[in-house]
Amino acid sequence: MGKHLEVTIDKDSGFCFGVVYAIDMAEEILEDEGYLYCLGDIVHNDEEVARLKAKGLRIINHDVLPTLQNEKVLIRAHGEAPETYRIALENNITLIDASCPVVLKLQNRIKTSFDDQEKILIFGKHGHAEVIGLQGQTNNEALVFQDITELDHVDLPASFTLYSQTTKSVDKFYAIKNELISRGYTVKANDTICRQVSNRYEDLGDFAKQYDKIVFVSGKKSSNGKVLYDVCKAANPNSYFISETQELEGLTFLAGERIGICGATSTPMWLMKEVKAALEQL
C-alpha cells in the first residue's frame, strides 16, 4: 500500500512571462537551425538548462562573445549592459534580444537618470546578471548594495535616486527608502519591481499555509527562489527546498498528508510535475 499523499501544484508557480518569452524564442531557433548561443544561463535552473542544451543551446560567458563572428546569440530575460551590444555590432553578431520588458524599462530609466547626472543607488544582488546590465547603463558608476548595512560607512551624496533589481521585495525596497530618508538624505525612489514576482511573494504564503508540508522546487542559483522559499518557510515551517526529484529521498512524508508543490519564477512546470508524480508513487 502506498501512502496516498494528496499532492497539489501551485497554479501560480513556474516561469514568469520574461522567461517563457526567452525560452520560446530559443526553442524556435533551435528547431530551425539546430544550435544557438546564449549569453549566460538562460534561466537559473540546471534541469531546464540541460533540457535546452540537449536541443543545441550553447551557453557561453562574456569572455567568449568577442571571439564569435557572424553568429546568433540570445540575450536572456535578465538583460545586458551596453557593452554587449557594442561587441555584437563590431563582430557582426545577430543578437536575439529576449530581455524582459520590465528589465528594459528599468534600464531606460536608469540611463535617463544617469544622463541627467543624478547619483544612483541600486538595491540588488552583487554580481547578478540583471544588476550587471543595470550598472552598465551608468558606466558602472552606480552604487549597488544588497543590504542597507553596506551603506553604514559609505560617504553618500546628499541626494540620489534609488532603484531596485526587478525581483526584490517591494516591502524591503520601501523600508530602505524610508530608512535613508530618516538618515537625512533626499531620496527619489523609482519602484520598478516586477508585480508578477511581487504578487507571488504575497500569494505564496497563503498557498503554503493550506498544506501539511511544502516542497519548494528551485535551482540553487535562483535568487528569486531563495526569497520565495523563505516566504514558504515563514508561512509553513514544514517547507523543504529541493532542486531535483532525487532529493525527495531524504525527506519524510506520512500517510494521507497534504503536500503543496511550488517554485521560483525560474522553475519549469515539467519539473514540478515530475516531483508531483514521484510523491504520488510513495
Catalytic site positions: 130
* Alpha-carbon dihedral 264, 267, 271, 273, rounded to 10 degrees: 50
Residue 21's CB is within 10 A of a number of other CB atoms, namely: 17
Backbone angles phi, psi at 169, to 5 degrees: -75, 135
Q: Which residues contact 146 (CB under 8 A, 6 or more apart)?
A: 123, 124, 125, 126
What three-state secondary structure class fits 204?
A: helix
Pair type for strands 36-39 and 72-75: parallel
- Please give the DSSP secondary-structure letter assigned to residue 235: H
Q: Are 236 and 211 in contact (CB under 8 A)?
A: yes
Q: Which amino acid is at 66?
A: P
By CB atoms closer than 10 A (0-12, 13-18, 19+), residue 69 is exposed
Angstrom CA distances, 250 to 24, 79, 148, 247, stand at 34, 37, 37, 6
Closest to 248 measured CA to CA, from 204, 281, 223, 226: 281
